[in-house]
Amino acid sequence: MLFQIEEGLKLKVVVHWSGGKECCLAYHKVIKQGHQVAYLLSFEYMRPYVFHSFKVMELQSQTLGTPLKVVRIKKAYEDILKALTTLHDEEGIEGIVTGDIVGAGCAIVHSSYYESMAKQVGLAFTMPNENPSGDTYDVLKEVVDTGLRPVLNCINTNFFEEEWLGRPIDKNSLQELKELTDAKGIDVSSEDGQGYHTSVVDAPLFKQSIAIGKFKKGKKKEKAKNWKRNWLYMDIKEAHLQPKEALK
């Protein structure tokens, strides 16, 4: 499995994009490595897409200067494979980047999933959030130390009180978040998919920051044989770009 693109090799890539903290961290890393990010590639599995805001993603695309390509998904594997094949054949895309934290939670499934498709299409596949310590809290601290500003736009009320909705993850909230997730027995970075989702409103490569205006609080229930999740999310109606210093 290719977790690191060969040193010195510069590729034209797409970043699998949700607008959340890990994909934004991965974007910053591959740009630093000298790769060309041609697209932010987002897959729309449901409407409304409760876990992340496409309105915010569009603003992220604008402030990064990288086009957002949204693919509507009906049959996951087939539709994603088709999208990657088109990007490779018609756009000259050479690799796909995901923000999954290596070895953690959903990444274990996603890595084999994307590696299989990348091999079929002829793409390099890389997950730059490597997590050598095995502790996802270290990646969360890296997110904050890098200068990313994620906010919790979707929370599982089985674990989080409503006051967490819209809160930023920063140096002031890191320890509180760790203590809460440790007490609840869930992953502090939510790589197990149980706790929360985020939207990044500022980052070093953002030319402007994002201000979230009006939103409604929406609810969605998910359940399977052995678990259930009660999501409370920000249904964002208004958001706009603003000068970065406005957040300081």
| pLDDT value of residue 179 | 97
118 Cα distance to chain centroid: 19
- Taking each helix axis as running N to C, give the angle between helix 136-146 and helix 174-184, from 0 to 180 degrees, rounded to the nearest 10: 160
HSE-CB at 216 with a 13 A cutoff on CA atoms is: 5
Spatial neighbors of 46 by CB under 8 A, at least 6 apart, are none
Mean pLDDT, to the nearest integer, of 60-74? 96
Is 1's pLDDT higher than 60? Answer: no
Residue-level pLDDT at 227 = 79
| 38 pLDDT tier (thresholds 50, 70, 90) | very high
The token duo for 137 is: 């809290």
Which of residues 229 and 224 earns the better pLDDT score? Answer: 229
Q: Does pLDDT of 53 surpass 90?
A: yes
Residue with tokens 């897409």: 49
As a whole number of angstroms, the distance between CA 202 and CA 64 comes to: 10
- Residue carrying the six token digits 């979707």: 154
Looking at residue 80, its pLDDT comes to 93
Q: What would the pLDDT profile of 95-133 be if each residue is shown by its tens digit?
A: 999 999 987 866 666 777 888 899 999 999 999 999 999
Does the pLDDT at position 175 exceed 60? yes
Mean pLDDT of 231-245: 94
pTM value is 0.93
Domains of the chain with bracketed CATH: 12-247 (3.40.50.620)
Over range 125-150, report the average pLDDT.
95
Beta strands in 94-195 (DSSP E): 95-97, 124-126, 149-156
- What does pLDDT average to over the chain? 92
Q: Give the separation between CA 19 and CA 88, rounded to whole angstroms.
A: 23
Residue 85 CB coordination number (10 Å): 16
Can you tell me which residue has the tokens 């490569």? 205
pLDDT at 79 over 60: yes
